């Protein structure tokens, strides 16, 4: 059989450039240029947005620099701290902790059934999941302090308004995170329990809850830790706790008293962080 090309001709053909490879290389080069232009556009837009925000916020670095000596003077006046009102401060610290505990506890009680209704893989009422997710987004979108300020006008000044504010905001965040944990569970154990003829309650008790419990507890501890820090601020809006004493010290410029309060807040937050981190580590 005679070949249509000689061996030398075949070698010359093999040495020809691959047009498809050239075309692909050119497309990548052009795509790289367009990608660079696209990124440059978003970078310029981000810088413009930053400059516009700085102007709207009236950022004045020169004025801040000129006021630094005042900040240094105030810091020097913090010491020595004044421990003469420790019993009052300890009572206020406990009030802050109570706000966080009650608010988080109430949120857990409400968030669990809401998460079961919102989680797409186990909800018994599919059409109800979407409006409930909208409700959770609303609760998460309103800050704890705003909720507390609203409830102060309803139930009056004091820690009860703070606990309600923590409960409402935390319910939205907690139910959403609970639902994400439930949706991430493997479906095989749930299907195996349901195949035995068990109802939804038994399926949840024996298949869903054991798998999801460590994640749910970890989320609860994290949000409680967050709520302790948030509860400190609630005193500013009249919801009681150590935040109220902090506000009084700031208004009176009583720096030794302020230093004592800050030290107590630091100790409380540090202990809560260590406690929460320890238990979350034990769950893993």
- pLDDT tens-place values along the chain, 284 residues long: 454 545 454 444 444 445 556 555 655 555 555 666 666 777 788 888 998 888 888 888 888 888 888 777 777 778 888 888 889 999 999 999 999 999 999 999 999 889 888 888 777 777 888 888 889 999 988 889 899 999 988 988 889 999 999 999 999 999 999 988 888 877 666 666 666 666 566 666 666 677 778 888 888 988 998 899 888 888 888 888 888 888 888 888 888 999 999 999 999 988 988 888 887 777 66
Sorted by sequence, the CB contacts under 8 Å of residue 10 that are 6+ apart come out as: none
Predicted local distance difference test score (pLDDT) of residue 19: 53
The model's pTM is 0.75
**pLDDT (0 to 100) of residue 16:** 45
Residue 261 · residue 245 · CB < 8 Å: yes
Are residues 239 and 102 in contact, defined by beta-carbon separation less than 8 angstroms? no
Closest of 242, 229, 231, 243 to residue 276, by C-alpha: 229
Cis peptide before 65 (omega within 30 of 0): no
Packing angle, helices 86-118 and 126-141, rounded to 10: 160
Q: Residue 260's pLDDT is what?
A: 92
DSSP 242: H
Q: What are the structure tokens assigned to 95, written together?
A: 């009030």
| Residue 275: HSE in the Cβ half-sphere, 13 Å Cα cutoff | 12
- How far apart, in Å, do the first and last CA atoms of the chain sit? 73
Comparing CA positions, the residue from 143, 108, 117 lying closest to residue 220 is 108
Q: How many helices and strands in the chain, by DSSP H and E? A: 12, 0
Q: What is the pLDDT of residue 13?
A: 45
Task: Compute the distance between CA of residue 282 and CA of residue 164 in angstroms, rounded to an integer.
Answer: 30
């Amino acid at each position: 059989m005679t070949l249509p090309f000689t061996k030398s001709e075949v070698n010359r053909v093999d040495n020809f450039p691959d047009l498809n490879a050239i075309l692909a290389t050119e497309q990548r080069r052009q795509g790289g240029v367009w990608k660079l232009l696209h990124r440059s556009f978003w970078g310029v837009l981000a810088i413009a947005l930053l400059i516009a925000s700085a102007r709207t916020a009236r950022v004045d670095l020169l004025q801040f620099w000129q006021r630094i000596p005042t900040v240094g003077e105030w810091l020097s006046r913090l010491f020595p701290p004044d421990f003469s009102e420790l019993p009052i401060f300890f009572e206020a610290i406990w009030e802050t902790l109570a706000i966080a505990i009650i608010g988080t506890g109430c949120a857990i009680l409400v968030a669990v059934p809401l998460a079961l209704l919102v989680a797409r893989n186990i909800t018994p009422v599919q059409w109800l999941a979407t409006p409930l997710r909208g409700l959770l987004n609303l609760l998460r979108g309103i800050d704890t302090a705003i909720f507390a300020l609203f409830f102060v006008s309803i139930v009056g000044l004091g820690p009860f308004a703070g606990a309600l504010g923590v409960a409402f905001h935390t319910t939205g965040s907690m139910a959403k995170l609970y639902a994400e944990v439930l949706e991430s569970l493997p479906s095989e154990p749930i299907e195996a329990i349901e195949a035995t003829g068990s109802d939804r309650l038994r399926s949840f008790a024996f298949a869903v809850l054991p798998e999801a419990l460590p994640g749910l507890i970890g989320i609860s501890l994290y949000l409680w830790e967050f709520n302790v820090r948030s509860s400190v601020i609630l005193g500013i809006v009249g919801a009681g706790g150590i935040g109220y004493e902090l506000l009084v010290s700031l208004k009176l410029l009583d720096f030794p008293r302020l230093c004592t309060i800050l030290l107590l807040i630091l100790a409380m937050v540090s202990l809560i962080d260590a406690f929460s981190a320890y238990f979350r580590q034990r769950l893993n």
